[in-house]
Structure 1
Amino acid sequence: MDGALAGTARRPVRGEPSALRVSRAMRRLVSSSAAREVAELTHVAEFIQQPVTTGRQIAVTSIRGGAGKTTVAALLGTAYAHYRQDPVLLVEADPALGSLPLRLGADALRWTTADLADIVEPQMSLLDVTGYLVQLPDNAWLLPGSQGRIGAMLSTSAYERVMVALRRYFGVTVVDCETLPAEVARVALSAAQARVLATPATLDGVTSTYAVLQWMRGLPRHMIAGTVVALTGTAPRPGIDVAAAAEKLRSTGAAVHVLPHDRHLAAGGALRTDLLARPTRLAAARLAAEVFQLSQKRR
């Protein structure tokens, strides 16, 4: 990122106001909520830590920009890297100046998804491959979609070559796709073992996603059965009944998880899990666990 632009960022903020954190801390002192939270996170971790026989690929997309798909992809990749012991890969298949590297705090970008399509060979070791990737914390790696160039391109054939070649090196790969109906996004959704549709908790967002899910019901059964909607809060007080919207989306056969509005995520900078509100951390862990479980059901 350009140094001058980086200097415009404000200091990262926590996901919830101080007064709310203090209030919640006081309640936790006189209740069993902390114990229940630890128990649930332990349960969630058990699902995420399940071994895989072949690498699981999870595609994240949305119907339109601004739905939070890159944020969801970063949350998923961070969760898998935290809980799993095998290497985790995050791929940016949105080359048109995508923001996944920014969300992951990656400054130096070298090789891109399109570049690696012409480089990767079957005889390469994990060490060889990771030499072309950006290293992240917790044994995670990033393959960016561009080097900050406007108009960078990624063909479906290049995407397929990279994903087939890299699958054997990583236990889980999270792909941040272009928005639908872009061609690479459609290929990624079809090839992935599980898929996530990021949807803003707005009337138009839910309506558009519902229409897409209805269309997916006409595809092979595994498509809708392996799809999770991440209903993302865009404001502290949403303009719709989120519970009712989630139930409507579930009626299509897709799973739905609600990610509450979080000030830290809304700031748009590098993701720091320690600054997320507790409800956000728990919701992200639940989402990661269900998506991983669904990916395990399809070989």
Structure 2
Amino acid sequence: MAEKRGRTKTEAVTTVAEGVEPVGDADLAAALPESLTIDVELPAPVHERPADEQAVALLDSGVDPAIVGAVVGTVETGTTVIELAHDELHAVVTTPPTGDDPDADVEIPPLPQTDGVYSRRDMLDGVHQGPESAAMLTADRLIEPRRRNRTAPEGRWPAFVYAVTFHLVNIGDSRRVRERKELDAKIATAFEGGARFVPVLTRKGGVGKTTITTLLGMALASVRDDRVIAIDANPDRGTLSERVARQTRATVRDVVNRAPSIQGFTDFSTLVSRDETRLDILASDTDPMLSEAFDENDYNVVADLAARYYSIVLTDCGTGIVHSVMRATLQRADALVIVSGGSVDEARLASETLTWLEANGYGELVREAIVAINTATQGTNLVKLEEIEAHFASRVRQIVRIPYDEQLAAGSVISWRDLRPLTRQAARELAALVAQGMPVRRGV
């Protein structure tokens, strides 16, 4: 057996080392080992993970459940590290490395382009070929410009032209209609951030302050989509509720007493009267003793509830300018309406009201105030109204004349539709000025 193994090795050496001087079989057998082992080091298998899997890969190391407070493991970058510390599972996602510089910007590949999403101009220019996408079915492409607005124009002549041309010629609304719509847009100004408070006041009674409050509220409520309320805060037994058809005997005192039980607008609406323009009116106390007891704290309760359900709160303040209710009213005021009559003493007292307000820290309200001159009072025909307007123009933002109207002079229920057109127009102008003077957003 040993001899056979020697011949095999001799033949192998002779074959491999051909041309080398041969050696003896005995010497070759003695030089070779009994066995030959060759170790070959092969490269370890490498399993690369895709980039999206590396971003959410967990650690390969196991977690010992007995060691809750220990950190499972840490890696430098490119993986997600899970830490178990004090019964909290905390995952830390690190950013994949971008190179040697850690501050280097990461290049974000662009989103793939979807076939078929292109503009009509690209198709017309021959940049893209093939079927159109749904995004190309736009209104600008499909609707003819002259047929987009099919609203019939308002006004006699525009409506006539629109009719005889079989709706092919639309010259637009008449000038008067355009002015009316522009005024409606001003009155309907939307407000953000809570209710807006507008006190209506003067130092002299009998100048039509309650009437102006009612007209202003009706003009606002007839156009706006939100709610408008007028509160009678007159401590001398106000008559605001007598300007509309009264639907309840509740007063501001009932609101104060029932405030804890009022949970929504349905509960509050049972305490107010609503007219045809959707103006809500909250009456004052009919008992003079209770009216005098209506103080600053009571007004704040009523005002807070009204602010929940109404966008504009008008306050008929009465003649008690130094009454405690006046202080609470002015502190909430976003706009101010001063009422003046057409006589000398009425105009002078209205001007003194502005002076009192400026002296008590309400100068900004005075500069943005609106003066409503009621020309239905006695002595108007003997006074130069232009001079009164010139005086107030130097102190306030705007002046509006309220013309004489038989329905207003009667001192009874006011019907908005039965007022003279000039009276409604003056009330609408007053409402537009008030709405435009208040901040659209709270704090602006």
TM range (shorter): 0.7 to 0.9
Equivalent in the alignment of 1:229: 371
Gaps of 5+ in 1: 1-33
Query: Residue 248 of structure 1: which of 391, 398, 401 is its match?
Result: 391
Which residue identity is paired with 2:341? P
Contact 1:257 1:287 in 2 (8 A): yes
1:5-44 alignment to 2 at 5 Å? 35-44=174-183
Contact 1:179 1:185 in 2 (8 A): no
Equivalent in the alignment of 2:326: 185
Give 1:88 shift.
1.4
Give 1:215 shift.
3.5
- Aligned residue for 1:118, secondary structure, equals helix
Query: Residue 266 of structure 2: which of 127, 131, 141 is its match?
Result: 127
Query: Residue 49 of structure 1: which of 184, 188, 206 is its match?
Result: 188
Contact 1:114 1:159 in 2 (8 A): no
CA distance in 1 between partners of 2:261 and 2:389 (Å): 43
Which residue identity is paired with 1:228? I
Give 1:201 shift.
0.9
CA distance in 1 between partners of 2:388 and 2:176 (Å): 26
CA distance in 2 between partners of 1:127 and 1:38 (Å): 37
Q: Is residue 144 from structure 1 mapped to residue 287 from structure 2 by the alignment?
A: no
CA distance in 1 between partners of 2:233 and 2:304 (Å): 14
Describe the superposition over 1:50-86 as per-residue Cα deviations: whole angstroms up to 9, x where unpaired.
1121111111112111010000000011111100111
Q: Is residue 290 from structure 1 mapped to residue 398 from structure 2 by the alignment?
A: no
Contact 1:109 1:144 in 2 (8 A): no
Superposition TM-score, scaled by structure 1 size: 0.80
Which residue identity is paired with 2:436? Q
Equivalent in the alignment of 2:233: 93
Give 1:220 shift.
4.2
CA distance in 2 between partners of 1:125 and 1:224 (Å): 35
Name the % identity. Answer: 25
CA distance in 1 between partners of 2:368 and 2:284 (Å): 25
- For CA contacts below 8 A with separation 6 or more, give which structure has more relative contact order: 1
Q: Is residue 204 from structure 1 mapped to residue 358 from structure 2 by the alignment?
A: no
Give 1:95 shift.
4.5
Describe the superposition over 1:259-298 as per-residue Cα deviations: whole angstroms up to 9, x where unpaired.
1222221111111122222221111100011112222366
Equivalent in the alignment of 1:216: 357
Deviates more, 1:251-260 or 1:263-272: 251-260
CA distance in 2 between partners of 1:169 and 1:242 (Å): 39
Query: Residue 414 of structure 2: which of 257, 271, 278 is its match?
Result: 271
Give 1:227 shift.
1.6
Give 1:100 shift.
0.9
Equivalent in the alignment of 1:67: 207
CA distance in 2 between partners of 1:65 and 1:152 (Å): 20
Equivalent in the alignment of 1:118: 257
Which residue identity is paired with 2:297? S
- Aligned residue for 1:264, secondary structure, equals helix
Which residue identity is paired with 2:179? E
Superposition TM-score, scaled by structure 2 size: 0.55
Equivalent in the alignment of 2:335: 194
With over 3 angstroms needed to count, the CA separation of the structure-2 counterparts of 1:140 and 1:253, relative to structure 1, is closer
Equivalent in the alignment of 2:223: 83
Give 1:93 shift.
0.7
Contact 2:202 2:353 in 1 (8 A): no
Runs of 4+ with deviation above 6 angstroms:
none
Equivalent in the alignment of 1:281: 424
CA distance in 2 between partners of 1:96 and 1:180 (Å): 8
Describe the superposition over 1:228-259 as per-residue Cα deviations: whole angstroms up to 9, x where unpaired.
11111025952211122111111113422111
Query: Residue 171 of structure 1: which of 311, 315, 331 is its match?
Result: 311
Which residue identity is paired with 1:167? A
